Homo-oligomer: A and B are copies of this chain.
Amino acid sequence: MILDIALKHEVDNSYCVHIDALPALRFKGKVAIVTNPKVAGLHLAYLLSRLSSDECYVITVPDGEQHKSLQTVEYILDRLFEHRFNRKSLLIAFGGGVIGDMSGFAAGIYQRGIDFVQIPTTLLSQVDASVGGKTGINNRFGKNLVGLFHQPKAVYIDPHFLSTLPKREFAAGVAEIVKMAVTFDAAFFEWLETHELSDPEHLKTAIEKAVQTKASVVAQDEKERGLRAALNYGHTFGHVIENETAYTRYLHGETVAIGMVMANEVACALGMMTPHEAVRVKALLEHYGLPVTYGIKDVDAFYDAFFLDKKSNDRSITFIIPQSIGGVALRDDIDAALIKGVLARYGEA
């Protein structure tokens, strides 16, 4: 006997992204704010002044990529169980990308899934990580290798939080803004070349533009079966660097900056992007003080690590390579020798 289990239906994971001063938020039931000591110290009082709920708990986890682990997710889950959270309860991710990714993952697996809301406090998470529902953790094999797609119920982006952001973290966020422009919007890239993001008005415009790009890509390809992979421009190289340096030497956005420069060199070697375009991207990144080079100890080991990238399989690695500023291609046919040739230029000084 063969039985069909018919499970075809419409799913609606839509939500709104608010880019403005945090509005008054009212939630029924239990709410847990997941944050870290730094963000809590700077901004928790402000958030609590905007928030009302039946019961509110604060779950504080350590700051940093090295704590984006299954152990920390388990810590969050345990607190939810202790406070007897149920399927109607809500998680609020209040912090940067690490907090958002772990809170979303915890919300996605707590009692097979509860709602969560993103209130990103870093530029990087405001323009990229908090929109799109990618959640997960790192492990010894690499970055974001365990997780799931779990869309937030809403995202509140308040540029006010950025006033306390260290310069280096600000620049890391700019790297992701540059990424959006190079991958999808040449006019936005030109605008970035001529507008200083230290100006709050320009910054808000750039955040809006970046989130619009992200929103449009995610709406077309929620689970990254094609187009959305383009947003990993710079990340294939960047993840290997992050892993090699144990998530401690660089910020995520910094490795994306280096990774974009590497991808552009591949693009130039393939005759896809012009050297002049590559120079313009590098100059914009350097203008914000981002790193654009990295000492590779072992080219073969670096190349080998690409195979653990989620876009790869046994035989091929998918690279996101710019066609030009404003457009990218997914390429799984690039000769290993060509890639290694580019990597070899990054030998340690």
C-alpha spacing A8/B105, complex, angstroms: 21
Other-chain residue from B1, B5, B314 in contact with A84 (beta carbon distance below 8 A): B314
C-alpha spacing A88/B17, complex, angstroms: 33
> Does A77 belong to the interface (CB within 8 Å)?
yes
Number of copies: 2
Residues of B within 8 A of A68 (CB): none
Please provide the chain A residues from 4 to 54 with a CB less than 8 Å away from any CB of chain B in the complex. Answer: 4-20, 29-30
Residues of B within 8 A of A151 (CB): 5, 7
Other-chain residue from B17, B86, B312 in contact with A2 (beta carbon distance below 8 A): B17
Contact A3 to B211, CB < 8 A, known contacts A146-B77, A148-B108: yes
C-alpha spacing A310/B149, complex, angstroms: 21
> Does A248 belong to the interface (CB within 8 Å)?
no
Residues of B within 8 A of A18 (CB): 1-2
Q: How many residues of A are counted as interface, with CB atoms below 8 angstroms from the partner's CB atoms? A: 67
Interface with B: A131-139, A164-172, A185-193, A260-268, which one?
A131-139
> Does A109 belong to the interface (CB within 8 Å)?
yes
- Please give me the residue from chain B that is nearest to A73 by CB atom: B70
The answer on a CB contact under 8 Å between B8 and A10 is yes
Residues of B within 8 A of A110 (CB): 145-146
> Does A215 belong to the interface (CB within 8 Å)?
yes
The answer on a CB contact under 8 Å between A14 and B19 is no
> Does A270 belong to the interface (CB within 8 Å)?
no
Residues of B within 8 A of A29 (CB): 313-314
> Does A308 belong to the interface (CB within 8 Å)?
yes
A53–chain B nearest beta-carbon distance, Å: 13
Other-chain residue from B1, B14, B147, B222 in contact with A208 (beta carbon distance below 8 A): B1
The answer on a CB contact under 8 Å between B13 and A7 is yes
Residues of B within 8 A of A327 (CB): none
Residues of B within 8 A of A136 (CB): 109, 112
Contact A314 to B86, CB < 8 A, known contacts A112-B136, A139-B81: yes
A292–chain B nearest beta-carbon distance, Å: 29
